Chain A
Amino acid sequence: VSAPEVVAIAPQPAADLVAALAAAARDLDTDARWLRRLLLEVERPTAAPALVEDVAGWAQRLAVDLDERIDRVVRLDAGVLADAAPGAARFLDLRGLDDLDELLVALTALGVLPSCPRLGDVGARRMALASLPPELLARLAEQAPEALGPGDGVPFAARDRANRILLRRHVARLEARADRLSVADRRLLIDLRSWRDDPDLQVVKLDAARGRVVLARGDLDTASHVAAIVPGAGLTIHGISRRHEAWMHHLHDEMSTRLTATGEQGDPATVLWLDYDSPQRLVPAAVRRDAASDAARRLPAFLEGVALARPQMVTVLGHSYGSVVIGRSLADHPGRLAADQLVALGSPGLGVQLSRELSLRDDQRLLAATFEQDPITHVGQWSPLTGDVGRAIHGPDPRRLRAVEPIELSTHDLVDAGPLERHLQYLDEGSSALRLLADLAAGAGRPSSGG
């Protein structure tokens, strides 16, 4: 039997166990030899001595392996947790641990946390991890970046630290085979280096293998006003468009200007949330709701993590298929979307047919804005005479739902460079639409018109 991988070690109990294992191994070995003699004497050979010898060997190997691990851990991590848990000198070896709940169990087993938070509970995680000394949390992020990086409820500074480790590793892997990278990977390498070198970014999640990334401009731990953009179809980590990333920056800058102008205390943070498998083709992927329903399982937990940092206002802007994600989040997880304002931009529909499916909280606003020239208006077909929504792929145009406040956008500065372009100018730099949406996200109240 091979010894299990040790992820967490408390030295004294472990040393005691090593001694007990070694003693048991010696005794079992002696027992086995004596048994073999006795059984031969009475001419009753059985497999018993061999089995006992096997167990003795297992115990001996386990003792040696455990002893080596303790030695390694103590040499590497001496002092780190002793500072965090005075009176109980304990040490951690968390390398290779990639699950946040396992990490919390390990911390509890070692006495670093007084009790194990309810597993999967974002709020309980936040409370537990926020109670740790910052330097310990930073050390944990370095030791177990796979566990802390994607963990909703983990303070965002720690997530950023962990994800930047993952980011640098991925950059190194790509650079190691730089001469034979695909076009997509070359593009990804450029983006990763850009994010790595940008100190104003928080890398909130990075899962290159699954094509997912969440970036923030500003500090989500301290921001007073947060705006998260859920982009639509056609994006992956290999194809984050410069435009979508720029939206995050433009929105941040506009919100900052607005907050300064109104004399509000606080700073904005903006997010590009691509933690889902954005449909890569319009047909058939983008006409289905699968990706949105899948995304709806993660968006509420992310926003819960944001809300735990207690910003004054959280706004989620779903662009195009991203608005279907918002709709399905509201419909599938009633009351769990921790946002004050939800805005559907250029929406093909919210993935629902009726307002009552959306389960909005009383204090929650759902708004929708679409340029009349945006070809997406043809997707959410709706007949005012018959009420027929049968042809609408993702439900009716959200502006026609009772629960939705429509926003009128000025189109005087819209650049008409083709149908797709008319679908992509909602948050472009300098546009009146961007200013209006930034005002909204900065808490300027209900907008009545753009321009």
Chain B
Amino acid sequence: VKIAVVGCGAVGSLFAANLSLLEDVEVWAFDLARSHVDAINRDGLRLSGAGEVVGRPRATSDAAELPPCDFGIVATKAMHTEPAIAATAHAFSDGCVATVQNGLGNEETLAQQVERVIRGTTFPAGKLREPGHVQWDVKGDTTFGPYDERTPFAEVEKLADACTRAGMPAKAVLDARGPQWRKVIFNASTNPIGALTGLTHGRLCERHDLRALVTGLVDEGKAVAAAQGIELDADPEELIDHAARKDVAYDHKASMLQDVEARRQTEIDYLNGGIVRFGAEHGVATPLNAAIQALVKGVEASWTQS
């Protein structure tokens, strides 16, 4: 089996390094960062933290080098999905392409370039420490499901099985929208609040008025999910409260807050923006999510001033 990971940042590296340990899988890692690619080809792809792994994927920044693959795993930031799949689609003309990205709309973007798309939601997380070396912060499950009827379920199972055997537990389900929307609602209701206020997850949940705003955002997301017949696999409210515990993620700075502090473009259009877009398509009003999206885009716009 040949698998190409497209976008080998923290999450992509977790998949690429672990999968490359399997005897029966040949892993390619496609990334535009030349220094990262060179380090991987020279020293291997090292993970440390939640697991110690040195994988040996074949890395490249040249999409033309990718052989025909059975699977793609797209792990870029959501705003880079389109150029990433446009460059690599040729490698997947007979394969399936899974997204393990954040947010809504990645599947639609992939489906414009490739035939068989797998919807994926993943919870493991980490950060790139230096070229060729990723810190693995938390382990977690991945859920895969066919995007539409063109994707054979047996292929989804094959990918989930490979990931599971590689130490990245994954399951195949017929409708993977539940976990996806649960994660999107969680992220859209908390990450931008952290980004706009500068508060950690625990601090923002402690403020009752702010926690009520989070619930307002969650409720809009739930209504949009329900209008599409999506059953969430867990209540985002419970996950938010759980994460606020001192022994879980009280001190965690949301990735969007880290993005804002580093003045990196955020995934707001794919989180709150996605909820607003799907809400509009299904006649569900989402004024709070729209307001939060506009504010965070305002933050991004402020960086290009003066």
**A and B associate:** no
